[in-house]
Amino acid sequence: MILGLDISTSITGITILDNNGSIIYCDHVDMRKEKNFFKKATMIEEKLGLIYHNFEISKVYIEQSLQSFRSGFSSAQTLSLLSKINGIVSWQCYKIFGKEPQYLAAISARKLVGIKVPKGQKAKKVVMKFVVDNLEDFEVEYTRHGNPRPGYEDRADSYVIAKAGYINERQKLKILANVLGAPYRSNSEYLFSCPYCEHHKRKFSVNLEKGYYKCWVCDTRGKNIYRVIRRFGTSHDKSQWREITGTVNYDKLEDLFAEQIEEKQILEMPEGFISLANKDIPTTGFAARNYLRKRGVTKQDIVWWKMGYCSKGDYEGRIIIPSFDDEGDLNYFVSRSYDRKAYPKYKNPPASKNIIFNDLFVDWSSDIILVEGVFDAVVAGRNTVPLLGSTLKQHSGLLQKIVKEDAGVYIALDPDAKKKELEIIKTLLDFDIEVWKVDIGDNEDVGSMSKQNFQKCLNNATLITTDNYLMLTLSMSV
């Protein structure tokens, strides 16, 4: 059974739905005459205790309290009291029913139920009319003036919260069934076929309430089921899931990190830059093109990575691989000599490396691959981000983007960077990012491999969790 609560310091609405989404109980707690805040909370607790003895509650949904002041709406003092009472009642629900409440914003809940509030109209009045018009078993008492008596609008609001929770779970289940196949229920969890090990039995356990998942065969596990949707679902599956679950507010993401992102960096192409992606290139570009060909770089790679060379200037005789930020501005470039006698081999611009290399072309809705250098990235594939080194600092723009997008990460550094690779994996795990370790064997680096061989290594990558990280650390130290 689903319990829906519309909590306030004056009247709290309560609705219970059965497993078919129908109302079996609807009431309210009127606390308007009680001035003591804690006695108000006690009145709600007593009602919840009665519900516990008469109904078997499996899910608790609470209307999310307002988080900011808006002119014309609740005062700042009222918002503070709402947050307090919400917190107290949330704890009461956990203590009494043993269930962690889930929170739904009023706007999202109304949308799920199918209620549209026309501009200029009061939401409570619209919700009340919708509930009365669509539910035969919703009883309302009216005043002699034809208005609902106090408490009935709160009941209607609590119904919307409960019904939205009911719909939310079924929509999630429908999307998961599209991605993983039909499940069967076992207590509070659903068991699907595992998309990772493809075991013939349904051993992939999903807890929809918490979002946790675990395969009892291959031990793949995580705390955000959307990662499975993102990895194995269609674009439609992913967009539907994001729509019904909402999005995290990352406006203050920088608060998670020790330092701030640097200001936007815009560079210009070096003097004498000529694109190698053109059909006809001057004779000065033949040596550059031959060098790339010997490294296994194809015409398609040249076009994708926007490669060129410099015929004059400080970077003369060098391959240029540019990087563009998410707005299309040049934020860095890598230069590599194609003359064996030239020194140094790499000569990069006097600019910060705290950038996301080719952010413009990264598909953040899919898993990304982290490698050390640009030529490693060419081999690894298009959704690869070179670190331009072997570290991922906590204040870096790349780490912040990975956390913000909740992107799964495959990491494939050079064998001589084992310690640094472990540090990166630990950092990503600390932010609850799904990490896969790619073992490139005895190869010097990813750039020295064929694309086919790297793909085989990628397909055999190992999922790293907090549980097996210690074992990985021990094995890599041998």
pLDDT tens, position by position, 62-108: 887 644 334 444 444 544 566 778 888 888 898 998 888 888 888 88
- Rounded Cα distance between 17 and 19, Å, is 7
**Within a domain: 308:** yes
Instruction: Specify the CATH number for the domain of residue 195.
Output: 3.90.580.10
Is residue 368 within 8 Å of residue 362, measured between CB atoms? Answer: yes
Instruction: Specify the CATH number for the domain of residue 286.
Output: 3.90.980.10
**Residue 370 bridge partners (DSSP):** 385, 411
Is residue 7 within 8 Å of residue 86, measured between CB atoms? Answer: yes
Tokens coding 259: 């330092």
Q: How many domains are contained in the chain?
A: 4
343 shares a domain with 369: no
Positive or negative CA dihedral for 235, 241, 246, 247?
negative
Instruction: Specify the CATH number for the domain of residue 437.
Output: 3.40.1360.10
444 shares a domain with 412: yes
271 shares a domain with 340: yes
**Within a domain: 250:** no
366 shares a domain with 283: no
pLDDT at 342: 80
Task: Tell me which of 306, 328, 351 is where a domain ends.
Answer: 351
* Cβ neighbourhood burial of 364 (10 Å; 0-12, 13-18, 19+): middle
Task: Tell me which of 214, 245, 276 is where a domain ends.
Answer: 245
Residue with tokens 């219970």: 16
Is residue 365 within 8 Å of residue 230, measured between CB atoms? Answer: yes
**Within a domain: 259:** no
Angle at 19 between CA 16 and CA 24, to 5 degrees: 35
DSSP 385: E
216 shares a domain with 284: no
Is residue 406 within 8 Å of residue 224, measured between CB atoms? Answer: yes
Among candidate residues 183, 185, 181, the one with its CA nearest the CA of residue 195: 181
149 shares a domain with 8: yes
412 shares a domain with 393: yes
**Within a domain: 196:** yes
pLDDT in tens, 39-66: 988 999 999 999 999 998 988 998 876 4
21 shares a domain with 148: yes
* Cβ neighbourhood burial of 373 (10 Å; 0-12, 13-18, 19+): buried
Range of the domain at 461: 357-478
Q: 374: Cβ–Cβ under 8 A, 6 or more apart, which residues?
A: 305, 321, 334, 336, 357, 386, 388
Is residue 449 within 8 Å of residue 443, measured between CB atoms? Answer: yes
399 shares a domain with 290: no
pLDDT at 67: 43
The structure's pTM equals: 0.56
Task: Tell me which of 351, 386, 412 is where a domain ends.
Answer: 351
101 shares a domain with 26: yes
pLDDT at 478: 53
Among candidate residues 27, 107, 104, 114, the one with its CA nearest the CA of residue 60: 104
- Rounded Cα distance between 130 and 110, Å, is 10
**Within a domain: 176:** no
- Rounded Cα distance between 324 and 61, Å, is 44
329 shares a domain with 466: no
**Within a domain: 174:** no
Residue with tokens 């516990």: 52
135 shares a domain with 230: no
**Within a domain: 251:** no
- Rounded Cα distance between 299 and 292, Å, is 9
Is residue 460 within 8 Å of residue 432, measured between CB atoms? Answer: no
pLDDT in tens, 444-466: 999 999 999 999 999 999 888 77
Q: What are the average pLDDT values for consecutive 10-residue runs of the chain, which has 478 residues?
A: 88 90 90 88 91 90 62 47 77 88 83 85 87 85 87 90 88 91 87 91 88 87 81 84 59 48 83 92 93 94 96 94 95 93 88 94 90 96 94 89 87 91 90 88 92 94 79 67
**Within a domain: 290:** yes
Among candidate residues 335, 310, 333, 337, the one with its CA nearest the CA of residue 323: 333
Strand extents, DSSP E, 234-305: 273-275
> What type of residue is 418?
K
